[in-house]
Structure 1
């Protein structure tokens, strides 16, 4: 993918301080994009700034602000308008949270509420806040990063399957609802535990955060888009590719 295709593009990465998100941010900066990243944790933002200090020609803007409340999302929108003059070319939603790893029916109420806030409500608020900006300016890309748990249910991971299924439904529904607006909504589904700089690969062919970042950039620059076929897969093989 030619790096110049992302040069000067303004891209919001929600979840950009996570193990996968930070690699996406670093790759986009290396391709010349202007990348905006909000996070509730200033320590995580500082870690991201340190990691991306030598990433390349792009510009990184960070804001300490949570995104899982309406007020928080609105604050990020106002900040982004101030920093970019209202321009937004793409949104990458790489959002997740704590995984409890126990039988679904034993989740505490507080755990369930926390899970919903991070895996579903944050996605809803990100779309509710930023899809209208893309529509208003006549186009842009909106990409959700999802896991393969939607296709398989495992003991101790039922809530992940619930979230993954709901996220896929969000992607497909928003793609149809925005068809004709110029906005391209899609999802990258990762069928593997992702190896990051914080968590090394534990089995052959494991997908890496660098591979995820490369596929994200490819989707953000692809000219092949169909609002009825918006789910793309990254599989557990050394030769994994977009499907």
Structure 2
């Protein structure tokens, strides 16, 4: 029970890593607020997790929605002790193949969303006497992959922003760190495999990205996020915790 009496706001919390993190945090004693632009999915996730979970519909790329979502969380729980900036998505394409609108939309969620949520929550944490922020980056910030230029750039930005935030706010007792997952099985890959001409071949390709020989599971990343969010990592500031099955060791 490492998060007893803590309140955690988790963006992109309705599925994948976000949902696994919300479930684990609740089991560790936290009250969790699941924020997701899919409000119905967020509500369902909250019902599945139980009494410790509530939901807010929130698109992290829109400042007004972030303000409203954070205000709703504070109205329900009185404070926010932990912010997990997890909302994000991927898109195929090199810089030549990526349309400007697609680039802007991805950056607005993956990178601007971290900025908007942090900008809104940090003053609350400062008034409370401190807090913890964990941003979801990616192993691709260190080892780029082909055909994902916008995604790789956005996650590189998240890693750099995490370090800048860590230095700017440690004097307010706000610890900021970043988790860098490898390829993690999620509903995104369910859709990709379903649309693939040869799902088995694609599964082998995905599993082969890491020396461990398989994709990661959302719950494995959730446990790493729990470490960064809890007092177990009290001396960890401005760090990037890579959980990629060995991919960046190649």
TM-score bracket relative to the smaller structure: 0.7 to 0.9
Q: What CA distance in whole angstroms lies between the structure 2 residues aligned with 1:45 and 1:128?
A: 23
Matches within 5 A, 1:1-243: 3=1, 5-53=2-50, 59-85=52-78, 87-97=79-89, 99-190=90-181, 192-196=182-186, 199=189, 203=207, 204-221=213-230, 222-227=232-237, 229-236=238-245
Aligned Cα RMSD in Å?
Answer: 2.0
For structure 2, which runs of at least 5 residues remain unmatched after alignment?
191-202, 208-212
SS, match of residue 233 in structure 1: strand
- Give the superposition deviation at 1:226: 4.4
Deviations 1:115-152 (A, max 9, x none): 11111111110111111211221111110111111112
What's the offset of the Cα at 1:47? 3.4
The Cα of 1:199 is off from its aligned counterpart by: 4.9
Give, in whole Å, the separation in 2 of the partners of 1:130 and 1:41: 21
Name the counterpart of 2:199.
none
What SS does structure 2 have at the residue aligned with 1:6? coil
In 2, Cα distance between the equivalents of 1:83 and 1:216? 24
Deviation per CA, 1:15-65: give whole Å up to 9, x if none.
111311111111111112100122222221233134424xxxx61111123
The answer to whether the Cα contact below 8 Å between 1:14 and 1:92 also exists between their aligned partners in 2 is yes
Secondary structure of 1:179's aligned partner: helix
TM-score, reference length from structure 2: 0.83
- Larger helix proportion, structure 1 or 2? 2
Q: Structure 2 CA distance, aligned partners of 1:52 and 1:224?
A: 27
Aligned 8 A contact 2:132 2:229 in 1: yes
TM-score (norm 1): 0.85
Report if the CA contact (8 A) 2:60-2:109 is conserved: no
